[in-house]
Amino acid sequence: MMNLKFAFPLVLLCALLCASCGGKKGASSTTGWNYNDPKMGGFEKTDYDGQVTGPNLVLVQGGTFPMGLTDQDVTFEWDNVPRRVTVSSFYMDETEVTNVDYREYLYWLGRVFGETYPEHVKRAFPDSLVWREELSYNEPLVETYFRYPSYDEYPVVGVSWVQANEYAKWRTDRVNEMILMKKGILNFTQDQKDEDNFDSEAYLAGQYTGDVRKNLKNLGNGGERQVKMEDGIMLPPYR
């Protein structure tokens, strides 16, 4: 009898563990309804193989490490108490953003906004006067560092925090736009002007459609739909 008393909880525990690992392939483990089945409402679940690595990015593996003072605090200030910190994996540029990278950004701004909003382009330019210092002669760098081809692959300087964030947003939009074009979802177009340009946030919110070539199939109604974040096609925002 003792064996029987312990057998049922063990079987129940195994059943719960199996259920938590997921149900049968193609169906919800919590409701039993099929995924990607138009006859069952068409809820879509993507076969996700992992995030695509964006241009010039490398994966930095996350982990846990002790942060803070690990030696004896002889002054007893207790302002740097040691603690374990966990950092998630993230992507990072393999190299710094170069002068030619940033000039590509300025060129795009000028092509899209230059005619109507020239001030929008002007405020994106880096501050070349950062080279000027007392008792030093850096005027050649002030005049040539950002534009001369010899410095194309050098890191861009004189960019503020606000400008860097605007550049990151622009890069997010351009990378995602190229992904959608390579997937055959959008047509390639270079005649975008003013507000009529691809914006990742606006696209995902359904406020921008772009020059559509062929959208994804909508399993819910049999029609077509735009790409969603859940599809795993577009990349998260650059920072």
Cβ distance 117 to 124 under 8 Å?
no
Within 10 angstroms of residue 235's Cβ, the number of other Cβ atoms is: 20
Residue 63, helix vs strand vs coil: strand
Cβ distance 151 to 126 under 8 Å?
no
| pLDDT, position 183 | 94
Overall pTM > 0.85: no
Domain ranges of the chain: 52-94, 99-231
- Concatenated DSSP letters for 131-164? G--TT---HHHHHHTTTSGGGTTSBP-S--HHHH
In this predicted model, what pLDDT tens digit does every residue of 77-132 receive, in sequence order?
Answer: 777 788 899 999 999 999 999 999 999 999 999 999 999 999 999 999 999 999 99
